[in-house]
Chain A
């Protein structure tokens, strides 16, 4: 693909470009995955080139395609004749853009075409929506085929802002801000974004300035704004005030006016808040407080998802707010939506709050929106979706770039500011042609110039991309491996599984996925659009919003889509009995110089997911596994992550935004390093286990020598795993991936195989071990058995209702397992490391059993099991403890994905003339049964090693927290 970019710049052969694009698209089939960035970037660049646009048009005509494009490679096309579908996309300026895409194309193809048409490079903030059967707006899933998302009706879409940047001034390009402005204007006019009169005036005046420029008496006269809409209920007074203000803006450029517009709009309390109707479940006066003495059960509220977290409104009043760091887990089951909250200052236990949504689809849609927002705004990189074919629960993950990534990428945009025509809100709508061609052309011009000259620019992009790419590729490879493994694995598993599960699994992937997508944006859309629809004229803006919500919509549950979902539920419930649990794992990998002090820190506690009240837990888990934030980790260990979390929670200083910035900065500073770390996070494995024993084997398994560590987590029982991998590198420098990794691949498979053979043991362990795989396997078995024992105990413990989940920090068994590179400095290579493992591992296992206890039982509905296992190389420890050295720098970076949170702590010290870089990575994997924690951990370790070949793993701490859900079905 790289080549292609070059080609683009040089030649304008449309076809070539096309091919390139398609290649990209296909390659990118894993939509947002950064892995493909190398390809993507060129694509982005390509967008700007005129050539491409030409191509598009050509494509539309289809004639071209037949010959050239097919040759190109798209698997889709190659196979047989391609069926094209005409898509109509309503753009933010109200015009429609029509484009043809293959029927089987994935969502991102359409999205990319639109962005190309709009000449938009910073496209990660945007998305394409469509209406589902219920007329709810949904976000088009870029990774899924269009035809599976648009089940019925014409292929009509809308282009919208999906993630409202908290600070629009950080957007790189004016054109991006322009589109954001268009969205916000519509938000304001529709009433979705309520404003005071003064704000309407102010925003309106900037809109006028942006569209009309300076006031000109002769040209404009005295009534020049009445055709522009500023507010839901526009009055003459408002227009006069707008004009009055507008006349003061002499010389303000459109771009400046838009910046002013955004600077004011972003402060509005409902800016970027995606509202969802819900009802309170249970009487939760303490946290939700409708009013004193009032029963909160059934109170209608609105849940607002935004960049900072989840807001809860009752009518117009905010009654609570849960920042992302405060939320341990998000899940949904049927039409219930749950958030597990980290205990507050005066609370001892975490709590789970339930909300009832109008229907299953609404709850799923809300869940997805939460997953996406959390990933986009809080994580450094997205987490990979679960890969199993037969997994229970939703595979949905946000696959696009995160804000941190998109900022990084957009910082590299080097093209000259594109020229674009600002169409105005209402007036031009009618006259606009459907295709919006003029706009395009304008855009292109500048672009062309850029491209022509700009080979260097392109390069810049590539660079960026490349970085990312490496990571991605590594990930991909791993993923592939995993998949293979899984494929193998799954079959056996399936057999083991109860029939119920099978059903679930089977049904889910295709239908559910589709559904997910369908549901996602419905609410948003509904808000946006609904206003007038259901609400009468007399309604307040807020009411309109409400009215749009599914609750009020008549059809709520009727749609066919729902049925399948329910099926799932049913299935889920049955599994519940089995009680699968979500596993949350945190893994931290730290590459450290010599000193490893923090090892103790590594103990991480994870919030276990709350299982559904009944047996449903499985379903909940599966579908819902969302993420656990760094918070979890903190609690358990606190220290390593302190920085971040502190900022978030403890009100210290740092606002979430700041954190993000830090993260991004950190990233930019040390691209290679950080990236590396990220990868581990992304990987999650699904674990499916036998039903009855569900909680079996949490025990970690580690064996091996240096580089590879594997940890096994009990699939069912274990909900949270935290592992910390520390790598010591003699050298400060971190090198990226080496061959050693490849070796790992094999090992995991073996591990899997072994696992499979064990069958009902139900222990899923994925371990990538480099050289000494065999040894590992042995160890694993031992460990597993022990683990099983433990788990069985846990199983006995009773379940609680979802609402009240208390996590008890159970016993922690800490074993240290360390890989230390023999030679601290020279031993950059993989194989060299001593094997410390087995001996250590054994002790660990023994400890594990002890650890299983459920401490807190006041309201104990949910028992949590926490286990911590530390693997540490003896050598390392000693070193670490011995000399403190001089701290040169310390850096903490946190990234989160839906199911994984990774915190990377990089410390540079000089001790005794030797500089050490120590990297501590804490990875929290949260998830349900469908995540194979072990595998995820193994991969994380593997990745970390690969990426820091010159460093060795000193210590791995695995901390697992499991909720034990017995079968009591209550509810």
Chain B
């Protein structure tokens, strides 16, 4: 269909800077304030990430300035789901995060994306919540993790928004998020961690049961390694942003199995203390998209 093309072609990345309030409101429920994070280090890591996206991969980078009032706004992945020329502005689980969408919405409209509001459709009473970290788009279909932050109503809105695609739900237990243990590693490749939860949840449900498509599965031993960013940049090369060896020593060899990739080790230790990972930092957009 109009919007269907191999995963990984992006032209733009939208990110949002690290505020000085970074870590004040802990990322995910259970970890809370006990975690001490190094805000300066987080900013450095953020800089490395954005630098890689811009200079190595060659994306156009749009950086939304940080807002101290929104300590989690750097997790921009959560507030929008973009496919083709449509951006679904999500409704994050936490009330205090919902105003994060405003700035993102503006950027989306500047990029001429068609904006769909989750809040509008159901109203606040609809109870739909959805965060991008529970959404895995493979280029062919969506998997939505039904987690503590994303509910079925939210998934339904997403399905209604992206009607061309099958939207399958995957139950995600505990406080985890779908993308905690999986991400795209290529047009037909899904990187999945080898943890028991991931195995049962994802491998069986997603790979065997839910999809009509065949995906290659790259298994990595550490859960933190499963969240990567794959981009086929303007240069047509395959880039994979992944956690560096210090953060996932056992998984590096797995990444090397990917042929002809340009690996971009990118540290993410501070954000990961808050339950985030590489993909949390950016929204990827393909504005060159045209009907084929």
Chain A residues in contact with chain B, CB under 8 A?
Answer: 194-199, 201-202, 245, 264-265, 267-269, 287, 289-292, 308, 314-323, 326, 344-346, 540, 542, 649, 651, 653, 655
Pick the contact of A292: B167, B173, B207 (CB < 8 A). Answer: B173
- Residue with the greatest number of chain B CB neighbours at <10 A, chosen from A199, A290, A655: A199
B67 at the binding interface (Cβ < 8 Å): no
- Residue of A whose beta carbon sits closest to that of B200: A346
Given contacts A194-B163, A196-B163, A198-B2, whether A319 and B214 have CB atoms under 8 Å apart is no
Given contacts A267-B1, A267-B4, A345-B204, whether A202 and B291 have CB atoms under 8 Å apart is yes
Contact between A655 and B214, CB atoms less than 8 A apart: yes
When chains A and B are docked, how far (Å) is the Cα of A316 from the Cα of B163?
Answer: 9
Contact between B171 and A316, CB atoms less than 8 A apart: no
Contact between B160 and A321, CB atoms less than 8 A apart: no
Residues of B close to A318: CB separation below 8 A: 166-169, 210
- Residue of B whose beta carbon sits closest to that of A197: B114
Q: How large is the interface on B (under 10, 10 to 19, 20 to 34, 35 or more residues)?
A: 35 or more
Q: Can you list, as one digit per residue, whether each of B1-39 has a CB less than 8 Å from chain A (1) or not (0)?
A: 111100000000000000000000000000000000000
Contact between B1 and A322, CB atoms less than 8 A apart: no
B86 at the binding interface (Cβ < 8 Å): yes
B272 at the binding interface (Cβ < 8 Å): no
Contact between B169 and A651, CB atoms less than 8 A apart: no
When chains A and B are docked, how far (Å) is the Cα of A198 from the Cα of B291?
Answer: 9
B84 at the binding interface (Cβ < 8 Å): yes
Contact between B1 and A196, CB atoms less than 8 A apart: yes
Residues of A close to B98: CB separation below 8 A: none
The interface stretch among B104-112, B151-159, B178-186, B257-265 is B151-159
What 10 A-B pairs have minimum CB-CB distances, sorted nearest first?
A269-B166, A316-B159, A198-B2, A202-B2, A194-B163, A318-B168, A199-B1, A199-B2, A264-B1, A267-B1
Residues of A close to B1: CB separation below 8 A: 195-196, 198-199, 202, 264-265, 267-268
> Within the complex, what minimum Cβ distance (angstroms) separates A195 from chain B?
6
Contact between A291 and B165, CB atoms less than 8 A apart: no
For the complex with contacts A321-B168, A655-B213, 16 further pairs of A-B residues with Cβ separation under 8 Å are A196-B1, A197-B86, A198-B1, A198-B84, A198-B291, A199-B3, A201-B2, A264-B1, A267-B1, A291-B151, A317-B159, A317-B168, A321-B211, A345-B208, A346-B204, A542-B160
- Residue of B whose beta carbon sits closest to that of A322: B209
B146 at the binding interface (Cβ < 8 Å): yes
Given contacts A196-B86, A199-B1, whether A316 and B164 have CB atoms under 8 Å apart is no
- Residue with the greatest number of chain A CB neighbours at <10 A, chosen from B144, B162, B166: B166
B141 at the binding interface (Cβ < 8 Å): yes
6 CB contacts below 8 A, A to B, read: A196-B84, A198-B86, A199-B163, A245-B291, A308-B212, A655-B214
User: Which residues 42-73 in B have Cβ within 8 Å of A in the complex?
Assistant: none
Residues of A close to B152: CB separation below 8 A: 290-291, 314-315, 317
When chains A and B are docked, how far (Å) is the Cα of A538 from the Cα of B4?
Answer: 29
Contact between B3 and A291, CB atoms less than 8 A apart: no
Given contacts A317-B156, A321-B210, A346-B204, whether A291 and B168 have CB atoms under 8 Å apart is no
Pick the contact of B164: A269, A317, A323, A649 (CB < 8 A). Answer: A269
Residues of B close to A540: CB separation below 8 A: 160
> Within the complex, what minimum Cβ distance (angstroms) separates B163 from chain A?
4
Residues of B close to A199: CB separation below 8 A: 1-3, 163-164
Residues of B close to A317: CB separation below 8 A: 144, 152, 155-156, 159, 167-169
Contact between B208 and A651, CB atoms less than 8 A apart: yes
Chain B residues in contact with chain A, CB under 8 A?
Answer: 1-4, 84-86, 114, 140-141, 144, 146, 151-152, 155-156, 159-169, 171, 173, 200, 203-205, 207-214, 217, 291
When chains A and B are docked, how far (Å) is the Cα of A201 from the Cα of B214?
Answer: 29
> Within the complex, what minimum Cβ distance (angstroms) separates B191 from chain A?
15
> Within the complex, what minimum Cβ distance (angstroms) separates B214 from chain A?
6
When chains A and B are docked, how far (Å) is the Cα of A264 from the Cα of B291?
Answer: 10
When chains A and B are docked, how far (Å) is the Cα of A903 from the Cα of B146?
Answer: 40
When chains A and B are docked, how far (Å) is the Cα of A649 from the Cα of B205?
Answer: 13
Contact between B164 and A196, CB atoms less than 8 A apart: yes
When chains A and B are docked, how far (Å) is the Cα of A951 from the Cα of B212?
Answer: 40
Residues of B close to A326: CB separation below 8 A: 209
When chains A and B are docked, how far (Å) is the Cα of A655 from the Cα of B211?
Answer: 11
- Residue of A whose beta carbon sits closest to that of B213: A655
Contact between A651 and B207, CB atoms less than 8 A apart: yes
Contact between A345 and B203, CB atoms less than 8 A apart: yes
Contact between A653 and B214, CB atoms less than 8 A apart: yes
Contact between B208 and A320, CB atoms less than 8 A apart: no
When chains A and B are docked, how far (Å) is the Cα of A267 from the Cα of B146?
Answer: 25
- Residue of A whose beta carbon sits closest to that of B84: A198
Residues of B close to A245: CB separation below 8 A: 291
> Within the complex, what minimum Cβ distance (angstroms) separates B144 from chain A?
7
When chains A and B are docked, how far (Å) is the Cα of A439 from the Cα of B28?
Answer: 66
When chains A and B are docked, how far (Å) is the Cα of A287 from the Cα of B171?
Answer: 11
Residues of B close to A649: CB separation below 8 A: 208
Contact between B168 and A316, CB atoms less than 8 A apart: no
When chains A and B are docked, how far (Å) is the Cα of A323 from the Cα of B144?
Answer: 20
When chains A and B are docked, how far (Å) is the Cα of A503 from the Cα of B228?
Answer: 65
Contact between A320 and B210, CB atoms less than 8 A apart: yes
Residues of B close to A287: CB separation below 8 A: 209
- Residue of B whose beta carbon sits closest to that of A308: B212
Residues of B close to A195: CB separation below 8 A: 1, 163-164
When chains A and B are docked, how far (Å) is the Cα of A540 from the Cα of B163?
Answer: 12
Residues of A close to B140: CB separation below 8 A: 267
> Within the complex, what minimum Cβ distance (angstroms) separates B143 from chain A?
9
> Within the complex, what minimum Cβ distance (angstroms) separates A652 from chain B?
8
When chains A and B are docked, how far (Å) is the Cα of A197 from the Cα of B160?
Answer: 11
Pick the contact of A316: B167, B204, B205, B210 (CB < 8 A). Answer: B167
> Within the complex, what minimum Cβ distance (angstroms) separates B141 from chain A?
7
Contact between A269 and B141, CB atoms less than 8 A apart: yes
> Within the complex, what minimum Cβ distance (angstroms) separates A277 from chain B?
17
Contact between A198 and B155, CB atoms less than 8 A apart: no
> Within the complex, what minimum Cβ distance (angstroms) separates B202 from chain A?
12
When chains A and B are docked, how far (Å) is the Cα of A269 from the Cα of B169?
Answer: 15
Residues of A close to B209: CB separation below 8 A: 287, 320-322, 326, 344
- Residue of A whose beta carbon sits closest to that of B85: A198
When chains A and B are docked, how far (Å) is the Cα of A651 from the Cα of B151?
Answer: 29
Pick the contact of B171: A202, A292, A651 (CB < 8 A). Answer: A292
When chains A and B are docked, how far (Å) is the Cα of A245 from the Cα of B165?
Answer: 22
Residues of B close to A322: CB separation below 8 A: 209
- Residue of B whose beta carbon sits closest to that of A273: B166
Contact between B3 and A198, CB atoms less than 8 A apart: yes
Residues of B close to A344: CB separation below 8 A: 204, 208-209
Residues of A close to B203: CB separation below 8 A: 345
- Residue with the greatest number of chain B CB neighbours at <10 A, chosen from A202, A318, A345, A346: A318
Contact between B2 and A291, CB atoms less than 8 A apart: no
Residues of A close to B212: CB separation below 8 A: 308, 321, 323
- Residue with the greatest number of chain A CB neighbours at <10 A, chosen from B85, B152, B163: B163
> Within the complex, what minimum Cβ distance (angstroms) separates B60 from chain A?
22
When chains A and B are docked, how far (Å) is the Cα of A304 from the Cα of B235?
Answer: 41
Contact between A291 and B159, CB atoms less than 8 A apart: no
- Residue of B whose beta carbon sits closest to that of A647: B214
When chains A and B are docked, how far (Å) is the Cα of A651 from the Cα of B215?
Answer: 8
When chains A and B are docked, how far (Å) is the Cα of A316 from the Cα of B209?
Answer: 17
Residues of A close to B2: CB separation below 8 A: 196, 198-199, 201-202, 264
Residues of B close to A319: CB separation below 8 A: 168-169
When chains A and B are docked, how far (Å) is the Cα of A292 from the Cα of B169?
Answer: 11
Residues of A close to B217: CB separation below 8 A: 651
> Within the complex, what minimum Cβ distance (angstroms) separates B272 from chain A?
25
When chains A and B are docked, how far (Å) is the Cα of A308 from the Cα of B210?
Answer: 12
Residues of B close to A321: CB separation below 8 A: 168, 209-212
Residues of A close to B162: CB separation below 8 A: 196
Residues of A close to B84: CB separation below 8 A: 196, 198
> Within the complex, what minimum Cβ distance (angstroms) separates B112 from chain A?
13
When chains A and B are docked, how far (Å) is the Cα of A698 from the Cα of B256?
Answer: 55
> Within the complex, what minimum Cβ distance (angstroms) separates A845 from chain B?
40
- Residue with the greatest number of chain A CB neighbours at <10 A, chosen from B84, B161, B205, B209: B209
> Within the complex, what minimum Cβ distance (angstroms) separates A368 from chain B?
23
